[in-house]
Every structure is written in structure tokens, then in C-alpha cells.
Amino acid sequence: MKKSLRDRKRITAGLSAATAVFLTLFLALGLSSCSGEDATAAAIGTATAGFAGLWILLIFVWVIAWGAGIFFFVIWIISLVDCAKRDAMDFPNATDNTKVLWILIIVLAKGIGALIYYIVIMRQSPRKKNLPPAQQQ
């Protein structure tokens, strides 16, 4: 058992040495065509491009986050208004406290509660419009 552990250590050390040699040769061959000024300019250009890419990514994520926030806020308001205007018996499996329960879910769970309300209530059973008596026939 000790022999196999020793062999593993030798193999690992050999691979580490081979990796170091490969990286050294790769860097030497890659930078051999550049003079000192060219290498510095290339490094500065790469760093600048990297920072610019990070800023673009940050702005992109920020815009998506704001868009998602506005989307959930609008869904929250629509769901809250719909729940408040809906008759208590218009809810599926309605009981005495169904409307109050849904309003609490929407208010306390914010956007996720509004999205759940939209999927479970608004899509499954649209609100009945209160038409004047002349138009009901």
C-alpha cells in the first residue's frame, strides 16, 4: 500500500513539473514576438477591455433587475386591484375569508404572491364584469 502511495506522489509531481514546463514554454513563445513596449501596451489594452466588459455586464444586469422590479410591481398592483374588486364568491372554492386571505398573500409576499394570484385566480377564473341591467340580457 505504501508503494502505491509513493507511486501516486511521483506521478503527481511529474505532472506538476510537466505542467510548469508547458506553461513556461507557452508564455515564452507567446511573448517572444513582442518587445517590451508592445507587451505593456497589449496588457493595458487587455485590462481596459476586461474592465469595459465588466462594466457593460454590470449595466446589463442592472437594467434587467430594474425591468424585473417594474414588472413585478405592475403585476402586484394589477393583482391587488383585481382581488379588491372581485366578489368574495367569485374565487374558486370560496369561503368567508378567501378574499382577505388572498389580499394578505398578495401584500405580504409582494411580487411572488401577485404572480401566484395571477396564475391561480386571474387566469383560471376571470372576473365577471358588472354590467348594467339593460345589458345583461
Task: Give the Cα-Cα-Cα angle 61, 72, 87 (nearest 5 degrees).
Answer: 175
CA 89 to each of CA 103, 119, 137: distance values in angstroms, whole numbers, following the listed order: 15, 18, 22
Given a contact cutoff of 8 angstroms between Cβ atoms, the answer to whether 117 and 81 are in contact is no
In the numeric block, the cell 507587451 is attached to 39
Q: What is the pLDDT of residue 37?
A: 65
pLDDT tens by residue, 34-75: 556 666 677 777 778 778 888 898 999 999 999 999 999 999
pLDDT-wise least confident of 18-32, 69-83, 97-111: 18-32
pTM of the model as a whole:
0.57
Question: Distance (Å, rounded) from C-alpha 31 to C-alpha 120?
Answer: 62
Query: What does the pLDDT read at residue 79?
Result: 94
Q: Higher pLDDT residue, 124 or 119?
A: 119
Determine the pLDDT at residue 10.
62
* CA distances in angstroms from 7 to 2, 10, 14, 15, 19, listed in the order given: 9, 5, 10, 12, 18
